C-alpha cells in the first residue's frame, strides 16, 4: 500500500490507527518534521499517544537525512522510534557491493560554442514574444500565455543541456507526442488554451533549429561520428556518449531519442522512464518498461528522479548522473542502484565549476559524518504529540489537515457540473500583510459557498492551505462533503447489481390469496360454502356451455365476487365471463367427497388425460385435505336456479363417476355375444346407446379423445369416409384394422381440445366471426368408453375455467395489496383494484395489460417529486450533488431494497398461465419445496424451452423474479395512484415506501427570496422582453435572471444549474403526461422512446434558438456566445423538412436554458403545474408535436439490421479535434458502410447511421417491423391532459433570509477577515494617500498587491522592488524605491519606474507601485 493511500484511508475513516498492529515504512527518511510527505502526515495527525492501542513502527532507509532541514532527531521524534544501524558494514558488503564513484568532467573549450546558443536563445525569445503579443486578456488567452511560457522554458533548458539537435527533438516530442497523445507534456493546460498559438510557437522553433541540423546531411544520417560536435550536441551529451561507448521529463525523452539514433551506441537498447504523475507514462507502461529492463530486452534506461527509489529496478552495473544529485539522500539512493560487482557510479561535472568537481568527495564526507552520528547516538526518544491544524467530524472521526485540504478541495471542484465553456476550479489570490501572507480563495460559481480568506501566514503556501481548510469545513457544514469528508458520489447500484447477468434474479414466494386458502373440514355432516355462479356470454353465441359455479369456504371480497373479464377465443371470438354471487350452499360430507372426485376427474381429463388410456383409473385419495394443494375451491356443474339459488348437478356428477373406468370389471364380456338391442359394441364392451351419447371416448388408433354428440342411425362403416373410400377401407388401409361390426351406426364425435391460456393478448380482427365446430364420424367398435355423460358442452365450459381462476387469483392478490395500502395510509383506498392489478402484472404474463405504461409515468413523477423535495431541502447544493442524491434515492437498487422491506415482491404477478402447470384442489403440485431443497428444486439457470425461460413450479409457488421487476413495481404503483387519484395519493404512497417527497410553502418562500441576490445583474439583460417570450411575468424577477446566468460568469456565486435541475424534472413529467394521454395505445417501449426524443437537450436547444433565448444569456465566455449564434444561424437558414436537426453541432447550454426557465416559472408560481402545462404547450410546441419531431436514425437502423440478422458495428477515431465514425455492416453475403466526421462524436454517429440507413433503403431493404414514426402516425390519438395534479399552489412570499447567499465583494470580505484578526484596514490597505488621478486609488487593496495580481494574471515576470536611494538628514531620512517590470509582448523590454521619497520603505515601495499602475492603465494594459 502506498503512503498516500493509507493516509486517504485514515483521513476518511475507512481504517483506524487502532486497527493496525505493525506499520512498516520503506524509505522512512521522508517522514520529516518540516515536510508534508504522507509519512509525516500519518504520524503527526493520526499516531496519537493517547490512543488505547497503537501499532508498532518499523522504518527502513539508507539515508536518514533528507535535504538541508533533515535531522535524525526530527526523524526519531516523528516516527516515535530509535535510529539503529549496522556496526559491521563488512557483513552488508557480502551481499551488496558498493559501486565505485567516478566524476567525468566535461566543458567546452571554445567560447564559440556559447555564441550560437545565445543567438538561438534570442530567436526563441522573439518567437515567444510575438506569440504573446497576439493574445488578449480573457481566460483562454491567459491560460495560453502560461502554457507558452512553460514550453519556452523547456526549450531553452534543452538547448543549453542537450544542444541544438536535442532541443529539436524536444519540439517534435511536444508536437506529436512521440507515440503518446499530442502535447501530453501540457495536457492539463491544453483543455482551456488556444492550441493554435502554442503549436505556432513550436513549429517556428522547430523550423529554426532544423535549418541548421539539416546542414551537412545531419538530419539524414544522425548516426555519423562526424556530426558529434558542438553546438549540435552539448559538451555534456558528448561526454555521456564517450562514457557509454567505452565501457527533467522532456529532457529524459529527448536524451532517450538521441541515444537511440546513434550507431556508435548500437549495442545499447534504450528507453526512458518518467513518473506516472507527469502524464507521460501510465502505471501499466512503467511496469512494461521495467520488465523489459529486467529481462534484457532493454539495457539502458534514461530516467528522471523517479528512478532513484520506489521502483523495483533491476540491479545495474553502471549508473550515470546526467543531472547531479542535490542532496545526500539523492546521492545515496541513486548510488544504491549500482549493486552489481565492480559496478560504477558516474557523475557528469562541469570542469569549470569547482563545486561540481568536488561534489563526490563532499557527499562521501557528509555520509561518513551521518553514519558516525548514528552509531554514537544514545537513546533520547521523547514521546510527543504534534499539533497540526485539522478539521475533524465528530460523528465519523474523519479528519483532514490543512495540507490534505488542498487536494480535497480540487477533487470537490472536479465533481461540480461543467461544460465545454466552463471548467470549475478554485482560484487563489495572494496579498501582502504586516503579519505575513493572506490567500483569498474563490470557489466556482456553482459551488454552495464561494469566498474564503486565510489568516496571515508565514508563506503563500501556508495561507493557501489555511483558506482551503476553511473552505472544506464550510462545504461539510452545508452538506457538500459527506461526514467522511468526501464529495458525495453516485453509487450506481443499478449498473452494478441489477444488470449483473449472474445475479439478476431472486427467488421469491408468490402470494396465494387468503380467500382461496381456507380449507373445509369433515367435523360436521354439512358444510356451508359460498357459491358464485359463472355466467358465460359468448360473442358470437356459436356454442353451448354447461353452467358451472365456484364454491369456496369463505365469501370472496365484493369486488372479486362480481368479477368480470373477457376471455379471448380463437378466430377473434370473445367470451364475456362474470361471477355472480349466489348465496350460500350447504353440502353434505358425502356429497363433498363426490365433488372432490369429480374435480379431480375433470382436471385429469383436462391436463393429464394420458392417465385415461388405461382400463382402470382410481380417484380415491385418503389424504385429499392433507395434500399439497395451496388453494381450496370447487368448480362444479349446477342446474337452473331455484329461488335465485343454484344447486349442484349431483345427477351429472354421479353419472360421470359411475363410468366403467373408475370400477374394477367383475367379468369379461364375450366378444361372440349377440348384439343386444339398444346397445353398441364398443372397444371395451357393450354399452347402451344412452350411455354412449354425450360421453367421452378414446380412439387408440389415433391416440385421441372425442366427445360423442350424436349416433348417426342412417350410417354405418360402409358409408363414405371421403369421396373415394368407405370407413372400412380407410381403417384397413391406414391402420390395418378390419372392422368386425361394420353395420353399427357411426358416432358423430368432436375431438377433445387442447387447453389454452385465454388471457393472452390476441390480435383483434375487428369483427367477431363464428367458428364452425369440427366433427368426425367414428365406428363404435374402435372407441373405448371413458366417462359417461361427459358432453362437449361440459368440455367447452371446462376449457374456460383455468383462465378464469388464474385471473381471479391475481385479482384477489391485488385486493389484498390494496387492503394493505389502505390500512397503512388513508389515500391507499383511492386507487382501484383493477389499477393495482395492472401495476403488479408484468409483460411476461402476456395479458392485455401490464405495469410498463404505469411504470413510465411513475418513473417521471418519482424523478420530479424527489427532485423537488431535494431542491427545496438542500438550498445550497449544486446540480451535480442534487442529481447524485436523487439518483441514489430513485435508482433501481434503492427501490428494490425499499420494495422488499414492504414485502411487495410477493404480490407481483410474473407468470403466464401455462396449462400444464395449473394446480388446484384435486391436482396438487407434485414438487414439495422445503427451505433446504429450494436451491436444488429451483436452479437459477433456467432450461430454455422454445426460446423462453422455463421454470419449475413448487407447492409454495416460488418463482424467479428479476430484481429490476421488483423495483419497477414501485414506480408502476406510483403511476397507479397518479392515474386514479392524483399527486397527493402518490406522495402518500412514496412516503409510506420510505421515499420522502414532502415539502412546505415556506421552503419555496426562502428559495425565491434568496433569488433577490441576482437582481444586481438586472441591467445585463432585458427582463421584460424575455418575460414576453416565455409568456409569464415574474413576481420574483431574480429567478428569471438566475435562470440565464451561465457558470462562466464570475459573479462570486450562483448560476442557472440548480434551476435547470428542477426544470428538467418537471418537463420530464409534463411531457410524459402529454404522451401518456395523447397516445393511449402506444406500447411502453415506444412511449419511452418518444419521451426520450421529446425531452432531449437537442429538442430544447432548438426551442431556445428559435425563440432567441440565447440573446439573454449572462456569461463571460465569448466562445459560448459564438457557438450559440452559429447554431441559431444554422437553424434559421435550414429547411425543416429536409434538414436533420440532430446532426447539427449545438451548445448544450441552449437546451439547459429552456429547462432553467421552466424551473424558474415553476418556483415563481408556487409549483402550479396547471399553469406550467399551458406554457409548455405554447412554448415547446416542436417538442410535444410529433409531426415536427426529428426521429433518431440509430434505432431504425438497428431494427433494420435485426430483421435481416446483420451485425452492425460502429468504430470511432479522434483525429485533429474531430471524431471519425464509421457505421459498418460486414457479413458473408452483404457488406455496406458509411463514414462521417464531426467535432461531436455522438453527432457523427447519428450522421453515419442516417447515411447507412439511406443506402440500405435505396437498395430495397426495409425493416420487417413498423418504424416508430409510422406507429405514431397510425396510433389512436386523444386530447392530451395533465395527469394527477391536485395540489394547491401557494404563491411564494418574500421573507427575510437568515443567511443570504449574496456574496460580499472580495475586498470587503478581506477587510472583515483582517479586522477579525486584530489588524486595522489601514495596515492592510495603505493607499489612502494615493493621488486621486492614480490608477486604482478607489480600491482598498494596496498597490503592491494589485500589481502582483496583475502580473500573475497576465503571466508576466513578478515586479522587482529595489530601494536604490536615500535622501534628507539622518533624523528625517526618506527612501526612494524603483520598480523593474518586464511586459510580455514588448520585446522583453524592461521598464523602470521610480517613486517619490517617503519616510518609510513600505510607503516608498507603495508609491512606486502606484506609478506603475498609472502607466499600465494609460497604456491600456489594465482597465
**Confidence class for position 1321, pLDDT limits 50, 70, 90:** very low
SS3 379: coil
Write the DSSP symbol of residue 1398.
B
Q: What is the mean pLDDT of residues 56-60?
A: 87
Rounded to whole angstroms, the Cα distance separating 726 from 895 reads 70
Write the DSSP symbol of residue 746.
E
- pLDDT value at 497 more than 60: no
Check 204, 1102, 1155, 1311 and give the catalytic one. 1155
What pLDDT is stored for residue 1331 in this prediction? 39
Rounded to whole angstroms, the Cα distance separating 1066 from 703 reads 64
Rounded to whole angstroms, the Cα distance separating 328 from 360 reads 10
Query: What does the CA dihedral 680, 686, 691, 696 come to, rounded to 10 degrees?
Result: -90
User: Of 1396, 1420, 1421, which Cα lies nearest the Cα of 1408?
Assistant: 1396
SS3 1242: helix
Q: What is the mean pLDDT of residues 966-984?
A: 96
Q: Is 1155 a catalytic residue?
A: yes
**Confidence class for position 553, pLDDT limits 50, 70, 90:** very high
- pLDDT value at 958 more than 50: yes
CA dihedral (45, 49, 52, 57) positive or negative? positive
- pLDDT value at 772 more than 50: yes
pLDDT digits over 1004-1060, tens only? 998 998 899 899 888 889 999 999 999 999 999 999 999 999 999 877 678 999 999
SS3 1224: strand
> Is the model more confident about 285 or about 1018?
1018
- pTM attached to this predicted model: 0.77
Q: What is the mean pLDDT of residues 497-517?
A: 75
Rounded to whole angstroms, the Cα distance separating 1345 from 217 reads 54
- pLDDT value at 1311 more than 60: no
Cell numbers describing residue 559: 369486488
Rounded to whole angstroms, the Cα distance separating 409 from 447 reads 11
> Percent of the chain, pLDDT > 90?
34
Check 204, 691, 1064, 1403 and give the catalytic one. 1064
What pLDDT is stored for residue 314 in this prediction? 66
> Is the model more confident about 262 or about 1306?
262
- pLDDT value at 1340 more than 50: no
Collect all residues with Cβ–Cβ distance below 8 Å to 666 and sequence separation of at least 6. Answer: none
What per-residue string of b and e applies to 1089-1116 under the rule 16 or more CB within 10 Å gives b? bbbebbbbbbbbbbbbbebebbbbbbbb
Cell numbers describing residue 702: 389415433
Q: What is the mean pLDDT of residues 583-593?
A: 91
Rounded to whole angstroms, the Cα distance separating 1409 from 1399 reads 16
SS3 818: helix
pLDDT digits over 1384-1398, tens only? 655 556 788 888 888
**Confidence class for position 1292, pLDDT limits 50, 70, 90:** confident
Q: For the chain, what is the mean pLDDT?
A: 81
Collect all residues with Cβ–Cβ distance below 8 Å to 935 and sequence separation of at least 6. Answer: none
What pLDDT is stored for residue 69 in this prediction? 60
- pLDDT value at 1109 more than 90: yes
Q: What is the mean pLDDT of residues 613-626?
A: 72
pLDDT digits over 1125-1164, tens only? 988 888 776 544 445 555 667 788 999 999 999 999 999 9
Rounded to whole angstroms, the Cα distance separating 69 from 491 reads 45
Rounded to whole angstroms, the Cα distance separating 507 from 1290 reads 47
Rounded to whole angstroms, the Cα distance separating 1016 from 450 reads 17
Q: Which of 619-628, 1237-1246, 1313-1322 has the lowest mean pLDDT?
A: 1313-1322
SS3 685: strand
Which is it for strands 1231-1238 and 1360-1367: parallel, antiparallel or unpaired?
Answer: unpaired
pLDDT digits over 69-84, tens only? 667 777 888 888 887 7
CB 990 within 8 Å of CB 1008 = no
- pLDDT value at 179 more than 60: no
> Percent of the chain, pLDDT > 70?
81
Rounded to whole angstroms, the Cα distance separating 379 from 197 reads 61
- pLDDT value at 157 more than 70: yes
Cell numbers describing residue 274: 518518467
Q: Is 502 a catalytic residue?
A: no
Q: Which of 419-428, 532-541, 935-944, 1174-1183 has the lowest mean pLDDT?
A: 935-944
CA dihedral (707, 710, 713, 719) positive or negative? negative
Where is 787: in which H helix or E strand?
strand 784-787
Which is it for strands 344-350 and 100-106: parallel, antiparallel or unpaired?
Answer: parallel
> What are the two backbone dihedrals, phi and then psi, of residue 944, each rounded to the nearest 5 degrees?
-75, 130
What pLDDT is stored for residue 1071 in this prediction? 92
What pLDDT is stored for residue 693 in this prediction? 94
Q: Which of 391-405, 641-655, 1310-1324 has the lowest mean pLDDT?
A: 1310-1324
- pLDDT value at 1337 more than 60: no
Amino acid at each position: 500500500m502506498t503512503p498516500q493511500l493509507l493516509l486517504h484511508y485514515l483521513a476518511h475513516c475507512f481504517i483506524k490507527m487502532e486497527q493496525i498492529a505493525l506499520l512498516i515504512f520503506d524509505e522512512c527518511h521522508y517522514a520529516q518534521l518540516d515536510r508534508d510527505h504522507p509519512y509525516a502526515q500519518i504520524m503527526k495527525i493520526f499516531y496519537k499517544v493517547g490512543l488505547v492501542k497503537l501499532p508498532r513502527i518499523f522504518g527502513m532507509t539508507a539515508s536518514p537525512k533528507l535535504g538541508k532541514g533533515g535531522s535524525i532527531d526530527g526523524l526519531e521524534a516523528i516516527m516515535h522510534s530509535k535510529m539503529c544501524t549496522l556496526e559491521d558494514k563488512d557483513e552488508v558488503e557480502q551481499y551488496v557491493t558498493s559501486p565505485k564513484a567516478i566524476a567525468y568532467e566535461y566543458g567546452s573549450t571554445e567560447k564559440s560554442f556559447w555564441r550560437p546558443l545565445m543567438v538561438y536563445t534570442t530567436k526563441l525569445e522573439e518567437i515567444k514574444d510575438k506569440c504573446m503579443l497576439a493574445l488578449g486578456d480573457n481566460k483562454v488567452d491567459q491560460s495560453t500565455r502560461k502554457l507558452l511560457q512553460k514550453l519556452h522554458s523547456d526549450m531553452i533548458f534543452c538547448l543549453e543541456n542537450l544542444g541544438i539537435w536535442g532541443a529539436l527533438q524536444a519540439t517534435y516530442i511536444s508536437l506529436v507526442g512521440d507515440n503518446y497523445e499530442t502535447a501530453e507534456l501540457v495536457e492539463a493546460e491544453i483543455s482551456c488554451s488556444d492550441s493554435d498559438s502554442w503549436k505556432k510557437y513550436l513549429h517556428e522553433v522547430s523550423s529554426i533549429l532544423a535549418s541548421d541540423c539539416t546542414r551537412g546531411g545531419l538530419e539524414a544520417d544522425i548516426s555519423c561520428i562526424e556530426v558529434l560536435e558542438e553546438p549540435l550536441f552539448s559538451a555534456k551529451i558528448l561526454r555521456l556518449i564517450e562514457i557509454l561507448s567505452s565501457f527533467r521529463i522532456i529532457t529524459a525523452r529527448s536524451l532517450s531519442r538521441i541515444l537511440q539514433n546513434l550507431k556508435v551506441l548500437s549495442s545499447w537498447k534504450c528507453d526512458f522512464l518518467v513518473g506516472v504523475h507527469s502524464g507521460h507514462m501510465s502505471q501499466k507502461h512503467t511496469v512494461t518498461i521495467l520488465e523489459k529492463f529486467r529481462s534484457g530486452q532493454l539495457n539502458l534506461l534514461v530516467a528522471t528522479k523517479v528512478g532513484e527509489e520506489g521502483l523495483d529496478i533491476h540491479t545495474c552495473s553502471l549508473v550515470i548522473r546526467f543531472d547531479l544529485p542535490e542532496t545526500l539522500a539523492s546521492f545515496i539512493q541513486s548510488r544504491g542502484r549500482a549493486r552489481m560487482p565492480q559496478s560504477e557510479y558516474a557523475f557528469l561535472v562541469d570542469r569549470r565549476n569547482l563545486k561540481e568537481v568536488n561534489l563526490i568527495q563532499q557527499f562521501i564526507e557528509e555520509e561518513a559524518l551521518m553514519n558516525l552520528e548514528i552509531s554514537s547516538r544514545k537513546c533520547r526518544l521523547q514521546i510527543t504529540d504534534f499539533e497540526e491544524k485539522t478539521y475533524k467530524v465528530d460523528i465519523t472521526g474523519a479528519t483532514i489537515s490543512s495540507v490534505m485540504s488542498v487536494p480535497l478541495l480540487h477533487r470537490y471542484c472536479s465533481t461540480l457540473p461543467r461544460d465545454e465553456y466552463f471548467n470549475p476550479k478554485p482560484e487563489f489570490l495572494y496579498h501582502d500583510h504586516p503579519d505575513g501572507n493572506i490567500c483569498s480563495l474563490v470557489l466556482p460559481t456553482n459551488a454552495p459557498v464561494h469566498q474564503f480568506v486565510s489568516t496571515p501566514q508565514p508563506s503563500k503556501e501556508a495561507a493557501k492551505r489555511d483558506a482551503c481548510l476553511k473552505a472544506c469545513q464550510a462545504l461539510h457544514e452545508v452538506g457538500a462533503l459527506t461526514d467522511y469528508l468526501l464529495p458525495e458520489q453516485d453509487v450506481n447500484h443499478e449498473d452494478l447489481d441489477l444488470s449483473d447477468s449472474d445475479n439478476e434474479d431472486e427467488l421469491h414466494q408468490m402470494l396465494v390469496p387468503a380467500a382461496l386458502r381456507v380449507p373445509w373440514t369433515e367435523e360436521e355432516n354439512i358444510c356451508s360454502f359460498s357459491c358464485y355462479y359463472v355466467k358465460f356470454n359468448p360473442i358470437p353465441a356459436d356454442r353451448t356451455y354447461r353452467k358451472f359455479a365456484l364454491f369456496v369456504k369463505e365469501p370472496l371480497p365484493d369486488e372479486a365476487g362480481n368479477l368480470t373479464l373477457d376471455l379471448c377465443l380463437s378466430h377473434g371470438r370473445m367470451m364475456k365471463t362474470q361471477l355472480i354471487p349466489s348465496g350460500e350452499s350447504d353440502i353434505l360430507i358425502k356429497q363433498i367427497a363426490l365433488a372432490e372426485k369429480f374435480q379431480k376427474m375433470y382436471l385429469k381429463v383436462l391436463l393429464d388425460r394420458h392417465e385415461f388410456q388405461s382400463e382402470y383409473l382410481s380417484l380415491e385419495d385418503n389424504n385429499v385435505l392433507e395434500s399439497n394443494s395451496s388453494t381450496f375451491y370447487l368448480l362444479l356443474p349446477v342446474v337452473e336456479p331455484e329461488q335465485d339459488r343454484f344447486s349442484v348437478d349431483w345427477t351429472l356428477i354421479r353419472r360421470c363417476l359411475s363410468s366403467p373406468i373408475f370400477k374394477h370389471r367383475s367379468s369379461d364380456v364375450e366378444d361372440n355375444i349377440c348384439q343386444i338391442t339398444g346397445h353398441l359394441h364398443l372397444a371395451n364392451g357393450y354399452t347402451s346407446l344412452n350411455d354412449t351419447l354425450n360421453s367421452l371416448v378414446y380412439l387408440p388408433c389415433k391416440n385421441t379423445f372425442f366427445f360423442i354428440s350424436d349416433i348417426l342411425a342412417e350410417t354405418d362403416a360402409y358409408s363414405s369416409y371421403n369421396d373415394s373410400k368407405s370407413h372400412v377401407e380407410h381403417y384397413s388401409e391406414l391402420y390395418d384394422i378390419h372392422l368386425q361390426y361394420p353395420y353399427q351406426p357411426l358416432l358423430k364425435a368432436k375431438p377433445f381440445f387442447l387447453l389454452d391460456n385465454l388471457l393472452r393478448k390476441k390480435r383483434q380482427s375487428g369483427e367477431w366471426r363464428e367458428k364452425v365446430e369440427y366433427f368426425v364420424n367414428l365406428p363404435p367398435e374402435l372407441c373405448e368408453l371413458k366417462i359417461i355423460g361427459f358432453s362437449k358442452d361440459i368440455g367447452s365450459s371446462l376449457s374456460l375455467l383455468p383462465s378464469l381462476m388464474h385471473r381471479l387469483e391475481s385479482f384477489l392478490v391485488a385486493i389484498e395489496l390494496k387492503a394493505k395500502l389502505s390500512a397503512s395510509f388513508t389515500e391507499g383506498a383511492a386507487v382501484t383494484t383493477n389499477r393495482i392489478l395492472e401495476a403488479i402484472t408484468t409483460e411476461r404474463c402476456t395479458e392485455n395489460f401490464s405495469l410498463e405504461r404505469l411504470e413510465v409515468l411513475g418513473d417521471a413523477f418519482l424523478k420530479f417529486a424527489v427532485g423537488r423535495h431535494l431542491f427545496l431541502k438542500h438550498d445550497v447544493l449544486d446540480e451535480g450533488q442534487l442529481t447524485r442524491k436523487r439518483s441514489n434515492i430513485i435508482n433501481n437498487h434503492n427501490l428494490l431494497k425499499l420494495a422488499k422491506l414492504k414485502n411487495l415482491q410477493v404480490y407481483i404477478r410474473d407468470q403466464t398461465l401455462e396449462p400444464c402447470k395449473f394446480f388446484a384442489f384435486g391436482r396438487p403440485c407434485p414438487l414439495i419445496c422445503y427451505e433446504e431443497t429450494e436451491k436444488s428444486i429451483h436452479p437459477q439457470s433456467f432450461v430454455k424451452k422454445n426460446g423462453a425461460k422455463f421454470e419449475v413450479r413448487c407447492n409454495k409457488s416460488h418463482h424467479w423474479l428479476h430484481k429490476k421487476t421488483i423495483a419497477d413495481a414501485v414506480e408502476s404503483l406510483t403511476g397507479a395512484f397518479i392515474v386514479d387519484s392524483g399527486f397527493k395519493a402518490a406522495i402518500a404512497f412514496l412516503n409510506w415506501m420510505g421515499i420522502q417527497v414532502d415539502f412546505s410553502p415556506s421552503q419555496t418562500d426562502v428559495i425565491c427570496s434568496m433569488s433577490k441576490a441576482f437582481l444586481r445583474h438586472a441591467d445585463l439583460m432585458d427582463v421584460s422582453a424575455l418575460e414576453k417570450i416565455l409568456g409569464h411575468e415574474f413576481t420574483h424577477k431574480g429567478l428569471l435572471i438566475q435562470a440565464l446566468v451561465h457558470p462562466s460568469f464570475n459573479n462570486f456565486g450562483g448560476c442557472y444549474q440548480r434551476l435547470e435541475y428542477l426544470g428538467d424534472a418537471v418537463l420530464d413529467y409534463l411531457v410524459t403526461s402529454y404522451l401518456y394521454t395523447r397516445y393511449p395505445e402506444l406500447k411502453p417501449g415506444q412511449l419511452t422512446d418518444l419521451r426520450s426524443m421529446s425531452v432531449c437537450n437537442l429538442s430544447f436547444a432548438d426551442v431556445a434558438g428559435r425563440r432567441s433565448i440565447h440573446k439573454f444569456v449572462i456569461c463571460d465566455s465569448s466562445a459560448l456566445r459564438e457557438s450559440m449564434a452559429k447554431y441559431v444561424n444554422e437553424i434559421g437558414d435550414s429547411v425543416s423538412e429536409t434538414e436533420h436537426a440532430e446532426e447539427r453541432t449545438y451548445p448544450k447550454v441552449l437546451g439547459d436554458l429552456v429547462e432553467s426557465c421552466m424551473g424558474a416559472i415553476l418556483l415563481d408560481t408556487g409549483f402550479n403545474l396547471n399553469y406550467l402545462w399551458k406554457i409548455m404547450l405554447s412554448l415547446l410546441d416542436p417538442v410535444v408535436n410529433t409531426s415536427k419531431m426529428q426521429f433518431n436514425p440509430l434505432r431504425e437502423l438497428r431494427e433494420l439490421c435485426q430483421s435481416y440478422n446483420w451485425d452492425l458495428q460502429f468504430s470511432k477515431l479522434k483525429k485533429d479535434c474531430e471524431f471519425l465514425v464509421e457505421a459498418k455492416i460486414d457479413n458473408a453475403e452483404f457488406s455496406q458502410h458509411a463514414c462521417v466526421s464531426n467535432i461531436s462524436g455522438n453527432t457523427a454517429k447519428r450522421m453515419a447511421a442516417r447515411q447507412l440507413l439511406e443506402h440500405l433503403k435505396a437498395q430495397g431493404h426495409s425493416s420487417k417491423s413498423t418504424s416508430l414514426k409510422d406507429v405514431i402516425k397510425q396510433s389512436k390519438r386523444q386530447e392530451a391532459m395533465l395527469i394527477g395534479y391536485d395540489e394547491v399552489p401557494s404563491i411564494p412570499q418574500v421573507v427575510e433570509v437568515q443567511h443570504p447567499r449574496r456574496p460580499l465583494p472580495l475586498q470587503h470580505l478581506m477587510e472583515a477577515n483582517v479586522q477579525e484578526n486584530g489588524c486595522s484596514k489601514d495596515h492592510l490597505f495603505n493607499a489612502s494617500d494615493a493621488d486621486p488621478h492614480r490608477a486604482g486609488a478607489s480600491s482598498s487593496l494596496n498597490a503592491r498587491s494589485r500589481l502582483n495580481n496583475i502580473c500573475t494574471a497576465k503571466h508576466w515576470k513578478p515586479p522587482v522592488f529595489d530601494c536604490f536611494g536615500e535622501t534628507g538628514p539622518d533624523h528625517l531620512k526618506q527612501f526612494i524605491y524603483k520598480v523593474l517590470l518586464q511586459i510580455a509582448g514588448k520585446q522583453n523590454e524592461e521598464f523602470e519606474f521610480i517613486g517619490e521619497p517617503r519616510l518609510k520603505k513600505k510607503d516608498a515601495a507603495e508609491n512606486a507601485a502606484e506609478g506603475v499602475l498609472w502607466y499600465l492603465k494609460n497604456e491600456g494594459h489594465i482597465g
